[in-house]
Structure 1
Amino acid sequence: MPMSRERDFHDLYAHGMARVAAAVPQVKLADPAANAQEIARLYGHAAAAGAALVVFPELSLTGYSIDDLVQQRALLDAAELALQEVAEATAQHSALCVVGIPLQRWDRLFNCAVVLQGGRPLGVVVKSYLPCYREYYERRQFSAARDAMRDTTRVLGVEVPFGNDLIFRDRERTNFCLAVEMCEDLWVPQPPSVRAAMAGATVLANLSASNITVGKDAYRHDLVANQSARCLAAYVYAGAGSGESTTDMAWDGCAMVFENGELLTRSERYSPTSQFVMADVDLERLVQERARMTSFGDCATDHASSLGEMREIPVRFVPPAETVTIERTVERHPYVPQDPATRDERCEEVYQIQVSALAQRLSATGTERVVIGVSGGLDSTQALIVAARAMDRLELPRTNVLAYSMPGFATSERT
Structure 2
Amino acid sequence: MTELPFTSIHRHGLVRVGAARPRVTIADPAANADSIIALAQEAHARGADLVVFPELCVSAYAIDDLHLQQALLDLSEAAIARIVDASNDLRSVLLVGAPLRRNGRLYNCAIAIHAGTILGVVPKTFLPNYREFYEKRWFASGHDQCRATITVAGREAPFGVDLLFAAGNYADFCFHAEICEDLWSPTPPSTAGALAGATVLCNLSASNITIAKADERSLLCASQSNRCAAAYVYAAAGAGESTTDVAWDGQSVIFELGEEMAASKRFCRDPGVIYADVDVRRLALDRMRTGTHNDAASFAGQPETRFRRIQFNLDLQDGDTGLIRKLRRFPFVPNRPERLAQDCYEAFNIQVDGLVRRMEATKAKHLVIGISGGLDSTHALIVAAKACDLMGLPRSTILGYTMPGFATSEGTKANAWKLMQAMAVGAEEIDIRPAAQQMLADMRHPFAKGEKVYDITFENVQAGLRTDYLFRLANQHGGFVVGTGDLSELALGWATYGVGDHMSHYAVNTGVPKTLMQYLIRWTVESKQFDAETAEVLTAILDQEISPELVPADENGEMQSTEDKVGPYALNDFFLYYTLRQGQAPSKIAFLAWHAWRDRNLGNWPGAFPEKNKAEYDLPVIRHWLENFVHRFFVLSQFKRSAIPNGPKVLAGGSLSPRGDWRAPSDGTASAWMSDLATIPRS
TM-score by length of 1: 0.96
Query: What is the aligned residue count?
Result: 412
Cα distance in 1, alignment partners of residues 111 and 375 from structure 2: 57
Letter in 2 for 1:283: V
2:339 to 334, 339, 342: 342
Cα distance in 2, alignment partners of residues 235 and 193 from structure 1: 9
SS of the residue corresponding to residue 248 of structure 1 reads: coil
Which runs of structure 2 are paired with 1:382-397 in the superposition (5 Å)? Answer: 382-397=379-394
* Change over 3 Å in CA distance of 1:296–1:412 after alignment to 2: farther
Cα distance in 2, alignment partners of residues 61 and 101 from structure 1: 5
Letter in 2 for 1:303: A
Query: Partner residue of 1:139?
Result: 136
Cα distance in 1, alignment partners of residues 403 and 103 from structure 2: 83
1:246 to 243, 246, 259: 243
Cα distance in 2, alignment partners of residues 368 and 75 from structure 1: 83
Q: What are the Cα deviations for residues 228-250 of structure 1, in whole angstroms up to 9, with x where unaligned?
A: 11111111100000000331010
Cα distance in 1, alignment partners of residues 99 and 275 from structure 2: 26
2:254 counterpart of 1:257 = yes
CA contact (8 A) 1:100 1:114 kept: yes
1:55 to 26, 46, 52: 52
Percent identity (aligned): 47
Query: Partner residue of 2:31?
Result: 34
2:90 counterpart of 1:101 = no
Cα distance in 1, alignment partners of residues 321 and 72 from structure 2: 39
Query: Partner residue of 2:119?
Result: 122
CA contact (8 A) 1:94 1:118 kept: yes
* Change over 3 Å in CA distance of 1:357–1:388 after alignment to 2: same
SS of the residue corresponding to residue 399 of structure 2 reads: strand
CA contact (8 A) 2:40 2:90 kept: no
SS of the residue corresponding to residue 91 of structure 1 reads: helix
2:182 to 166, 176, 185: 185
2:365 counterpart of 1:363 = no
Max Rg structure: 2
Q: Report the structure, 1 or 2, having the larger helix content.
A: 2
Task: Please state how far the C-alpha of 1:160 moved relative to its aligned partner.
Answer: 1.9
Task: Please state how far the C-alpha of 1:192 moved relative to its aligned partner.
Answer: 0.4
Query: Partner residue of 1:411?
Result: 409
Q: What are the Cα deviations for residues 54-74 of structure 1, in whole angstroms up to 9, with x where unaligned?
A: 110000000000001001111
Q: What are the Cα deviations for residues 177-234 of structure 1, in whole angstroms up to 9, with x where unaligned?
A: 0000000000011100111111110001100000000111111111111111111111
Query: Partner residue of 1:194?
Result: 191
2:300 to 300, 303, 316: 303
CA contact (8 A) 2:196 2:303 kept: no
1:279 to 265, 276, 279: 276
Gaps spanning 5+ residues in structure 1: where? none
SS of the residue corresponding to residue 121 of structure 2 reads: strand
Query: Partner residue of 1:91?
Result: 88
SS of the residue corresponding to residue 97 of structure 2 reads: strand
CA contact (8 A) 2:369 2:381 kept: yes
Query: Partner residue of 1:76?
Result: 73
Task: Please state how far the C-alpha of 1:293 moved relative to its aligned partner.
Answer: 1.4
Letter in 2 for 1:411: S
Cα distance in 1, alignment partners of residues 85 and 48 from structure 2: 17
* Change over 3 Å in CA distance of 1:150–1:331 after alignment to 2: closer
Cα distance in 1, alignment partners of residues 325 and 247 from structure 2: 32
Q: What are the Cα deviations for residues 389-415 of structure 1, in whole angstroms up to 9, with x where unaligned?
A: 112222222222121113242433343
1:233 to 193, 212, 230: 230
1:5 to 3, 6, 29: 3
Query: Partner residue of 2:312?
Result: 315
Gaps spanning 5+ residues in structure 2: where? 416-683
Q: Report the structure, 1 or 2, having the larger strand content.
A: 1
SS of the residue corresponding to residue 308 of structure 1 reads: helix
RMSD: 1.5
SS of the residue corresponding to residue 60 of structure 1 reads: coil
TM-score by length of 2: 0.59
Task: Please state how far the C-alpha of 1:149 moved relative to its aligned partner.
Answer: 8.5
Question: Mean alpha-carbon deviation: is it higher for 239-248 or for 330-339?
Answer: 330-339
- RCO comparison, higher one (Cα < 8 Å, 6+): 1
Cα distance in 2, alignment partners of residues 207 and 410 from structure 1: 64
